[in-house]
Structure 1
Amino acid sequence: MKKIFVRIFDFFNTVESKIAFYPTLLAITGFFVAALMMYLEGQGISKEIMDVLPLLMVEDGDTALSVLSACLGGLISLMVFSFSMVMLLLSQASSNYSPRLLPGLISDKRHQFILGIYLATILYNIFTLFSIEPSEDKYTLPGFSVLLGIVMTIICLVAFIYFIHNISQSIQINNILDTIFESAEIRLKKLIKSEEDQNKTFPDTSKWHAYPAGSSGYFQNLSINNILQICEEEKTKIYITIPKGLFVLKNATFLKSEKPLDDKVVKAFVSNISFARGELIEDNYTLAFKQITEIAVKAMSPGINDPGTAINAIDYLTDLFALRMQKQDNGIIVHNKKTNLRVAVVTFKELLFNVMASLRTYCKHDPIMVSKLLWMLKYLQNQPAAEVNYHTQVSEEMETLLKQAKDSLESETDVAAIEKIYKA
């Protein structure tokens, strides 16, 4: 039963990021509210409210039809315009910054809720229109349902104003960078906290039994408790050879087991691992480094030529790298003082190289950007690190950056300036 709940939770996390999830949920809610109001109208709720607050009720069937029809037409136009704004936002973010930003922007719950409110109100008004007869008098007219439809339409107008404000904020690069940073920061702090006070050792896995995943896709998430439970039942240790966030090939080695496993057990392990065709920062913090790096690289391209955005991106990368230096590279998961599971991780050296390789290529000709990158690396040299070799790796990247910058810069003044920063 516990495994079923964990899988349901993983499935919910996957579908929650889809742009249609909350709009569909709220649209269904609007339908059921309309059905509930039809039942309450059959019980005479409008007549009772009419006797208490007659000023709030519509007393003519034709007026009720006209009002709801106007609300319905306006809401459909409003929804079409809002969807167009979302598509424009996604298109602009993809062309100006990075296509990798799209999953995060699509999963913005504020946009989803607003679009869902529109759909719920439209469905409610449609089904309420069905229950109105033009010849009905004020005591048989579903006046309370009509009043509720008008109130929901007003709520949609308020939501639209907020939607315009939020769209204008969402497309600003500072807000995009801040959102990416906050998601990665939360994920990294959670991982760092899980490593506290843990003495971690794991056997050599080079001669363990290897098994493929059987399916391809991005390694998105795994049900740790279920996998650890299977490890205890089979009395084995498991090493997952692919880091989270990377693409898993169908026939490549994915699992290694200390003891041989039959096909049924291997399938049980794989069934507790989520594969997807997209990536989310909430599941994989390294995606934040990729996204921010791509924003900086795109900003330094000749077509965009926006060094200010690149500098902002490097500031966020500096803070994230300083936080990443507090995390270890072993990927061992300790549960009840047992180390039955290890997951491969993107090491600090690999992460730093992947970021710096892209930035060096596009920024080595700009002395301001080289100075900023040197400032970032010198800052990291002075930060506390979970492993002693982190500072050495930072120094190696600094030397590589300086060498490439010297080869690319033509001005001796620029070369002298960056050498001065390097030696400071």
Structure 2
Amino acid sequence: MKGNFHKVFDYIFKLESKIAFYPTLISLAGFLFAFFMYYIENLDVSKYLVENVPWLVINNVDTARIILATFVAGLISIMVFSFSMVMILLSQASSNFSPRVLPGLISNRRHQIILGIYNSCLLYCIFTLIAIEPTGDKYQLPGFSVLLAIVFMTLCLGAFIYFIHSISQEIQINNIMSAIFNKAKGRLNRLIESEKDTSAKFPDASNWQVIKSPTSGYLEDISLLTIYNEISQNDIKADILVYKGDYIFKDAPLLNIEKKLDEEATNNLLSAFDFSKSELIEDNYVLAFKQTTEITVKAMSPGINDPGTAVNAIDYLTELFLLRMQKKDTSYYYDASGVAWIHIKSVDFKTLLYTVMASLRTYCKHDVIIVQKLFGMLKYLLNCADCINNTYKESVKVEVESLYQDASSAIENENDLALIKASMDTFVV
């Protein structure tokens, strides 16, 4: 039961990242509020206000119709412009930086709320306009509702001004990289805090029962609680064979378990694996390394030619690697008593560092400034005081040698080569 609740919670969390989630909820609120005001107007609230505070109520039918019709037309224009700005933002981010940054931009909650405010106000104005009854009786006119429409339209204008400011900030690459870094930092910190002593050996899972994938797609997330609830009932352990973020083909091995389970239990285990065509950094910190690396490579392409962005991206990569060196390569899921039930396959530091450096060496080795920056990053990693594993530093030394070889073969200027040689000599390899 807890596992199913956890699955529902994860689904709601992922639904929240969709661009239409908050606009839909807020629009529904505006729609319902319009009918609530219609009910209130039937209780003669406008008549009461006219008698006591007449300056709060619009009691002229033609004036009310003109105001509401103008608001409807204006809100449609604002919404069209705002949605166009969002599409331009996504297009520029995809072409100039990386298509992988789009899910993070789409899930911007502030922009979703603003679009929802537009749509809810539009629906409110439309249904308030429909509720006007031009019978000549001023008390049949929803004057107070029209006043609220003016207030809501003022709110929309304020939201529009904020939207223009926010969208102009959102497109800046420094803000995009900062958002990527902060999400990955939060994810890594949670993983580091959750790690416990893994000195106890986990059973050899090579001869265990294999559960295969029923479908194909990117493995977006794994509900460890769902797996734990199932295997703990059967007093067995599990070994996850795939990485989050990997593309899994149908019938590929997903999970090893100590003994064969019935069909219902197997299906419960399979339900813990969520497949998608997109990825979120909140679920997989490795995606932050991929995105930042792709931004660096794109910045160094002849079409973009922005080495300043590449330098900034390497700074963020340095911070992420320093944080990653505080995490163990092996991960387990523990129960309340500290017993490891699930072995979780995760990308080890050596593979992660090589993947990033292989791309950077290939596309940045001709630029001496970027090469110097990469040497600086690797030096910081070698001097990491919080590194929990000496093999991490050995992996860094291997990348130092590879970077020097590639840069020496790509750069011909003697002064540049001397500078690279001097940087290399500062390492004790």
Which range, TM-score by smaller chain? Answer: over 0.9
Q: Specify the SS of the correspondent of 1:278.
A: coil
Q: Which amino acid aligns with 1:46?
A: S
Segment drifting more, 50-59 vs 199-208: 199-208
Residue 376 in 1 paired to residue 377 in 2?
A: yes
Measured after TM superposition, the shift of residue 51 of structure 1 is 2.3
Question: In the aligned structure 2, how far is the partner of 1:110 from the partner of 1:182?
Answer: 17
- Residue in structure 1 matched with residue 97 of structure 2 by the alignment: 97
**In the alignment, which residue of structure 2 is the partner of 1:411?**
413
Residue 272 of structure 2 is aligned to residue 309 of structure 1: no
Relative to 1, partners in 2 of residues 1:136 and 1:183: Cα closer, same or farther, differing over 3 Å? Answer: farther
Partners of 2:101 and 2:367 in 1: how far apart? 26
Paired residues, number? 424
Deviation for aligned residue 1:155: 0.5
Point out where structure 2 has 5 or more consecutive residues left out of the alignment.
none
Equivalent runs, 1:304-343 vs 2, <5 Å = 304-336=304-336, 337-343=338-344
Structure 2 contact 132–140 (Cα < 8 Å) conserved: no
Residues in 2 aligned to 1:19 and 1:160: alpha-carbon distance in whole angstroms:
17
The percentage of counterpart residues that share the same residue type is: 52
Report if the CA contact (8 A) 1:201-1:339 is conserved: no
Q: How does 1:214-225 map to 2 (within 5 A)?
A: 214-225=214-225
Question: Using the alignment, how far apart are the partners of 1:51 and 1:248 within structure 2?
Answer: 70
1:111-150 maps to which residues of 2 (within 5 A)? 111-150=111-150
Match of 1:422 in 2: 424
The answer to whether the 8 Å contact 1:60/1:136 transfers is no
In the alignment, the residues of structure 2 paired with residue 203 and residue 375 of structure 1 have an alpha-carbon distance, to the nearest angstrom, of 41
Aligned partners of 1:192, 1:271: CA distance in 2, in Å? 26
1:386 to 388, 396, 399: 388
* CA distance in 2 between partners of 1:298 and 1:220 (Å): 25
CA shift for structure 1 position 154: 0.8
Tell me the residue number matched to 1:356: 357
Contact preservation (8 Å) 1:65, 1:134: no
**Are the aligned partners of 1:200 and 1:334 in contact in 2 as well (CA < 8 Å)?**
no
Is residue 211–residue 253 contact of structure 2 (8 Å, CA) maintained in 1? yes
Per the TM alignment, residue 223 of structure 1 is displaced from its structure 2 partner at its CA by: 2.2
Match of 1:156 in 2: 156
| Deviation, structure 1 residue 198 | 5.7
* Residue in structure 1 matched with residue 245 of structure 2 by the alignment: 245
Q: Does the 8 A contact of 1:60 with 1:137 survive in 2?
A: no
Q: Distance in 2 between matches of 1:41 and 1:2?
A: 46
Which of 394, 397, 400 is the aligned partner of 1:398?
400
79-88 or 331-340, which moves further after superposition? 331-340
Q: Structure 1 residues 117 and 296 mapped into 2: Cα distance closer, same or farther (>3 Å)?
A: same
One-letter amino acid of the structure 2 residue matched with residue 386 of structure 1: I
Mapped to 2, the partners of 1:230 and 1:408 lie a distance apart of: 55
For 2:405 and 2:362, locate their aligned partners in 1 and report how far apart those are by CA, in whole Å.
12
Taking only aligned residues, the RMSD between alpha carbons, in angstroms, comes to 1.2
Does the CA contact (< 8 Å) of 1:60 and 1:134 recur in 2? no
Using the TM superposition, give the Cα deviation of residue 353 of structure 1 relative to its aligned residue in structure 2, in angstroms: 0.6
After the TM superposition, which residues 170-319 of structure 1 pair with which residues of structure 2 at under 5 Å, given as runs? 170-196=170-196, 199-319=199-319
Q: Deviations over 1:62-87 (max 9, x none)?
A: 11011000011000000000000000
Quick check: 1:98–1:294 contact (8 Å CA) kept in 2?
yes
CA distance in 1, matches of 2:281, 2:145: 43
Task: Give how far 1:95 is off.
Answer: 0.5
| Residues in 2 aligned to 1:198 and 1:160: alpha-carbon distance in whole angstroms | 52
- The answer to whether the 8 A contact 2:226-2:268 is kept is no
Deviations 1:236-280 (A, max 9, x none): 111111111111111111111111223322211111221111000
How far apart in 2 are the matches of 1:303 and 1:105? 23
Matches of 1:199 and 1:193, distance apart in 2: 17
Counterpart residue type for residue 353 of structure 2? L
Cα 1:406/1:115, change in 2 over 3 Å: same
Q: What is the rounded CA distance, in whole Å, between the counterparts of 1:152 and 1:200 in structure 2?
A: 61
The alpha carbon displacement at 1:199 in A equals 4.6
Structure 2 contact 213–248 (Cα < 8 Å) conserved:
yes
Determine helix, strand or coil for the equivalent of 2:146. helix
Residues 330, 344 of structure 1: 8 Å contact kept: yes
Query: In 1, are the aligned partners of 2:329 and 2:347 still within 8 Å (CA)?
Result: yes
CA contact (8 A) 2:365 2:403 kept: yes
- For residue 93 of structure 2, what is the amino acid of its counterpart? A
1:140/1:321 Cα in 2 relative to 1: closer, same or farther (>3 Å)?
same
TM-score (norm 1): 0.98
* TM-superposed deviation, 1:149: 1.0
Aligned residue number for residue 48 of structure 2: 48
**Amino acid of the residue matched to residue 346 of structure 1?**
V
Shift, 1:226, TM fit: 2.3
